[in-house]
Amino acid sequence: MSEPLGSEGTTRRLPVLDKDRTAEDDVPEPAPGSGRFWSARRVPAAVVALLLAALAGVLLYDIAAVRADRPPLRVRRELARQLAERPLDDVWVLVGAGAAAALGLWLILLAVTPGLRDVLPMRRPHPDVRAGLHRGAAGLVLRDRAMEVAGVQSVHVRAGRRRADVRAVSHFRDLDDVRADLDAVLGDAVRGLGLARPPALSVRVRRPGRKG
């Protein structure tokens, strides 16, 4: 076959295709799975901010009143008197200190933990894309797949971050066969969820209880 002619009668070289390059080379490699989603902690943050703002406003008002030659608030005077008179081993002093320490530990726990335990992080096919799957939705998918197994009458699934507990009731077929089919079907279903950390499966199969 002759090569195509150019506009001036000269031959023109055809573009060379790289046969070693395939379409799969253009697909970006999946990014590693990320950690859990962090909660905004809006409700605790709003409650603490309102309490601190209220206490600060009361304290500033009391300081301004004292500067204006007015007596301090009765609450502050009573609190100062109680703190001066009560010993450190008093019950109310210990209760107040324990409540303050518990509140501080609770706030620290909210600050250092991610929260959103019901959202399972999914694999990231692209670094700029992040998705999560609700545990209830994951359990519903596993339940629907388990109900497709022959011999399964009912299924209860509890999907967690590290393990998915499956409790099935089989009204016919051998229990070992049903369990083997459930392990295979649910294993594929867990991998199909696309989770960054697929939970381990715990499958139990039993016969239905006797009526009456």
Residues 114-154: pLDDT tens digits? 778 888 888 888 888 888 899 999 999 999 999 999 999 99
Angle at 123 between CA 121 and CA 125, to 5 degrees: 140
Higher pLDDT, 128 or 5: 128
Parallel, antiparallel, or unpaired for β 132-134 and 119-121? antiparallel
pLDDT of residue 3: 47
Contact call for residues 148 and 112 (beta carbons, < 8 A): no
What is the pLDDT at residue 34?
A: 60
In whole angstroms, what is the distance from residue 179 CA to residue 85 CA?
70
pLDDT category, 83, cuts 50, 70, 90? confident
Question: What average pLDDT does the segment 153-163 reach?
Answer: 92
Cβ contact 201:179 at 8 Å: no
* Integer Cα distance of 23 and 115 in angstroms: 40
pTM, entire model:
0.60
